[in-house]
Amino acid sequence: MIRGVLLDLAGVIYEGETALPGALKAVDRLRHAGLSLRFVTNTTRMTKSMVLQRLSRLGLDVTDSELFTPAQAVREWLARNDCSPSLLVHPNLVQEFEDVPIRTHRAVVVGDAGEAFFYASLNRAFRELIGGAQLIALAKNRSFKDADGLLSLDAGAFVAALEFATQRKALVFGKPAPEFFEAALTSMDCPPKHAVIVGDDAEADVAGALRAGLGSAVLVRTGKYRPGDEERFDPPPTVTVESLSAAADWIVAHSPTSLSC
Amino acid sequence: MIRGVLLDLAGVIYEGETALPGALKAVDRLRHAGLSLRFVTNTTRMTKSMVLQRLSRLGLDVTDSELFTPAQAVREWLARNDCSPSLLVHPNLVQEFEDVPIRTHRAVVVGDAGEAFFYASLNRAFRELIGGAQLIALAKNRSFKDADGLLSLDAGAFVAALEFATQRKALVFGKPAPEFFEAALTSMDCPPKHAVIVGDDAEADVAGALRAGLGSAVLVRTGKYRPGDEERFDPPPTVTVESLSAAADWIVAHSPTSLSC
């Protein structure tokens, strides 16, 4: 029985500044079925408050505590590990780390920096890493669906570049890191087996969540989905559907009527 | 018995425009001992003729047929496979491919592009690759010793980025590709077991050559060498010495006197 729902954002609820057809009504339907919802995004081109503002502009009221971003998880890790960040991130995301004090250790924090990825910025990061800094990946997605409708390189490619050059593995924070899913589930007091995720990324969202112990995972054929994705990663999705609207139908059919998680 | 010698260039014979101490005399000593020499470089920031000119300026006469570069190997592969290149290389290297005609298939050719690595150029390459182009790496070195004396990111990091994003492996052409060593050895009619390599890269030069069947490999503590490199890769070097001068002493001691390969 499904009691808690994790929803990916880009490619599931919106694309750019536009809500996907039927997505907002689907979120409403899930809420009215008494299910607990959390929103889990690997977006690292916006601060958490920018994401909340975008959702609000679309007409979706989401509170700060319902939204989980990799930057938030990394901030907490940096504090616990007495680390200052050296940022290789999108200019929008810099303010998310502005108030972090100078600490004993150093970590190179890599997000989807977009145009801020260039030889000198990557080489500066490489030199910090061979000097002893920890490599931290806000996310390690391979690609995302860009504004022109085509796939573009995501942070994962650049994390892989630095891993290869330094022969060290990054600590990865967004999906598919099990801790990321667990934090969202814990916040709604939902055991993993009673939770489902809806995502357009068969690897980070779907296979990642199932590996983290979630009971089920719905792959939607929107966003970055490409034909064959449902068979490309292990474990495969529990079910593959056209859109969040169809995913909501499936989830409601598998949930106890009007029972809160 | 050693009869043929492969010599790496940057970090072994020169650094930038300067010959390393004793290196030119060491090359002379090897030639006068009757050994066959070939020069094998993974440099992809210069055309073959630029490399020959640099050697000539240093006072080293090397012929076109004694020097092996990855660009040359890739040109031959492109012709055999009816492929046109889409270049992600250093501006200096573009002319090496200028006369390649338009052919049926496409290949993305990646070298050490330096400042020509930036988000848009890498993303363009990524999109060509998911469109079906073959990924070709002129070399896959992790780092090189830069003009400021520190290590900098080499082509390998960017090849790894594209491999990760596309989930496909590159065809690698420079060292440690076995075909690269074999082409040099064949040109001097030297069986691998009678050949030695001298390099400053414990992975691409030393472990690569030994895996390709060379009888021995000498690691020099010049160029990009860092303490511990002799134990970092498998197989380890046959011997590790201070410089090309000491390498020449070791090689001459292990070669038949005045016997040509």
Record: contact B161-A163, CB cut-off 8 A: no
The two counts, helices (H) then strands (E), for chain B are: 8, 14
Which residue type, as a one-letter code, is found at position B139? A
Record: contact B122-A151, CB cut-off 8 A: no
Residue to mutate among B128, B158, B162, with most A CBs inside 10 A, is: B158
Report whether A241 contacts A218 (CB < 8 A).
Answer: yes
CB contact A121 to B (< 8 Å): no
Query: Counting Cβ atoms within 10 Å, is residue B231 exposed (0-12), middle (13-18) or buried (19+)?
Result: exposed
Is the N-terminal amide bond of B70 cis, ω within 30° of 0?
Answer: no
Considering Cα of A106, then A121, then A137, then A63, what sign does the dihedral take? Answer: positive
Residue to mutate among B90, B164, B168, B203, with most A CBs inside 10 A, is: B164
pLDDT in tens, chain B (261 residues): 999 999 999 999 999 889 999 999 999 999 999 999 999 999 999 999 999 999 999 999 999 999 999 999 999 999 999 999 999 999 999 999 999 999 999 999 999 999 999 999 999 999 999 999 999 999 999 999 998 999 999 999 999 999 999 999 999 999 999 999 999 999 999 999 999 999 999 999 999 999 999 999 999 999 999 999 999 999 999 999 999 999 999 999 999 864 444
Record: contact B126-A152, CB cut-off 8 A: yes
Give the C-alpha separation, B18 to B54, whole Å: 9
- Tell me phi and psi for residue A177, to 5 degrees: -60, 125
Structure tokens, A117: 């990825």
pLDDT at A227: 96
- Cβ-based neighbours of A23, under 8 Å, separated by 6 or more: A12, A13, A14, A243, A244, A245
Closest CB from A122, A123, A165 relative to B142: A165
Record: contact A163-B162, CB cut-off 8 A: no
pLDDT at B257: 66
DSSP characters for B75-87?
Answer: HHHHHHTTEEEEE
pLDDT at B16: 86
Record: contact A123-B153, CB cut-off 8 A: yes
Q: From residue A79, how far is each of A59, A67, A88, A153, B33 by CA, in Å?
A: 34, 20, 18, 30, 63
* Strand partners of residue A240: A219
Give the C-alpha separation, B203 to A80, whole Å: 37
Task: List, for chain A, all residue ranges whose pLDDT scores fall below the cut of 70.
Answer: 257-261
Give the C-alpha separation, B145 to A31, whole Å: 58
Give the C-alpha separation, B99 to B71, whole Å: 13
For residue B165, the chain A residues in CB contact (below 8 A) are 142-143, 153-154, 156-157, 160
CB contact B187 to A (< 8 Å): no
